Chain A
Amino acid sequence: MDLAADFENNPNQKLLRGKVVATLFFEPSTRTRLSFETAINRLGGRIIGFSDSSSSSVSKGETLHDTIRMVSNYADLIVMRHPLEGSARYASQVASVPVINAGDGANQHPSQTLLDMYSIIKTQGRLDNINIFMVGDLKYGRTVHSLLQALSEFKNPIFNFIAPPKLAMPMEYKRFLDQKGIKYFEHTEITDIISEADIIYMTRVQKERFSDPMEYEKVKNVYILRNKMLTNTKPTMKILHPLPRVNEIHTDVDNNPHAYYFTQAKNGVFTRQAIISHIMGLK
């Protein structure tokens, strides 16, 4: 967190001069890839890689094992996103250079979590005693799962989950909180209760998660955050969203001082500069 703050104050530090970083995106991602590549450029590194597996030898049937072994010979660091879960951990066992997980299927997205944590500490001045409301797709959303685990490492978090029953927080995470004695509450609608929030963490309710389109139609408008809902919230409350947004945060919220999601995305660059320089032992 301190390193990220250091990069925010002074983004252009050429610590990666002379180094080559491979960004291997086996599935498309706009924000994460651009954010990592911006971070690498600001650190003075050179980039090789691909933004879609169709433009790599994966399309010829090459295994992840072989791709990673080969790229290890070329680059000093690998940043990878892959649709299969556990792929980054496996790659780190195969590679001779460090591997950063930029998202492995529905499993983890650790750099997103660190930038979420940086955004929380920046806006709240603390990571202890955070009352966070997570809204939307809490079943499949890996960002909320990772953030839940990370915040659980700090004192007295309170979690409020707002989701349709079909997309509720999975039992394994609720059991995890129970085991740690951490309080959580479940709701199915956004109500006045959000006045207690320090952070509202919005996620997309994705149509493709519903086998019955009628089910989606029933809930798609229940989880839209609008300006008029924010009148009684704490002055310091901030709204986060991993983006991309569809309609779950109405555009009338964008100019509200509580809206923080675009700055949050900007924080992603500083956080990723911090991750890279830490892993490479540069700072």
Chain B
Amino acid sequence: MDSLQVSAIKDGTVIDHIPASRLFDVMSILNLHSCQEMITFGTNLDSKLLGKKGIIKVANRFFLDNEIDKIALIAPNAKLNIIKNYEVVEKRLVEIPDTIVSVAKCFNPKCITNHETIPTKFMVVSKKPIELKCMFCEKITTEDEVVIKNDRDE
């Protein structure tokens, strides 16, 4: 049971079913490194769906749809449990938005976004498998090629 491996929270959000290899990317996208609330996470937990999965619990944080949907790029099976007073009051799946801004890097090394300080912008041309069309160089970045932008890239 995951709940025994990672301690419970009273109020907040649990993000489950994150591929273990993408756990830190998810934390980066959600800017959790600057979050002052209590955060617990576990990784390499057994998962029937993913083999190995990660889980993040953030106390007293409730994410907006447009914040959380950004993680769909790298964790399309992620599930959110909204916790209030130790009870799950809502479950949500993530959904890939139609445009992705300032989250991923363009795969094309000759794209201007990899050479100047520019927020990247992609149009999602396919949601399964994920294919992103760069709004600058027009090249396609596929699911396997998605690299998450760090704040340091800005």
Contacts and interface: CB of A to CB of B under 8 A. Distances in A.
A90 B116 CA distance: 10
Contact of A86 (B117, B138, B140): B138
B86 interface: no
Interface in B82-125: 108, 110-113, 115-118
Nearest to B140: A172
A85 B137 contact: yes
Given A63-B116, A64-B116, A90-B116, A85 B110 contact: yes
A57 B25 CA distance: 37
Contacts of A106: 110
Given A63-B116, A90-B116, A90-B118, A108 B138 contact: yes
Nearest to A82: B112
B136 interface: yes
B18 to A, nearest CB: 30
Given A105-B110, A106-B110, A84 B138 contact: no
B111 A84 contact: yes
A96 B136 CA distance: 18
B139 interface: yes
Contacts of B30: none
Contacts of A104: 112, 137
Most buried by A among B110, B112, B137, B138: B112
A160 interface: no
A87 B140 contact: no
Interface in A155-187: 172
Interface of B is mostly: loop
Interface in B120-144: 134-140
A172 B126 CA distance: 13
Nearest to A66: B116
B110 A84 contact: yes
Interface centre among A82, A84, A89, A106 (most CB of B within 10 A): A84
Report, as a range, how many residues of chain B touch the other chain.
Answer: 10 to 19
A83 B116 contact: no
Contacts of A87: 112
A86 B139 CA distance: 10
Interface string A85-100: 1110110000000000
A14 interface: no
A13 to B, nearest CB: 34
A53 interface: no
Contacts of B140: 172
A90 B138 contact: no
A51 interface: no
A89 B135 contact: yes
A277 interface: no
Nearest to B115: A84
A170 to B, nearest CB: 10
A117 to B, nearest CB: 19
A83 B110 contact: yes
Interface string A50-82: 000000000000011100000000000000001
A87 B110 CA distance: 10
Given A105-B110, A106-B110, A85 B136 contact: yes
Contacts of B108: 85
Nearest to B133: A172
Contacts of A85: 108, 110-112, 136-139
A136 B29 CA distance: 44
Interface of A: 63-65, 82-87, 89-90, 104-108, 172
Given A65-B117, A105-B137, A107-B137, 8 more contacts: A64-B112, A85-B110, A85-B137, A86-B111, A89-B136, A90-B113, A105-B110, A172-B140
7 contacts: A85-B110, A86-B113, A89-B112, A90-B116, A105-B110, A105-B137, A107-B139
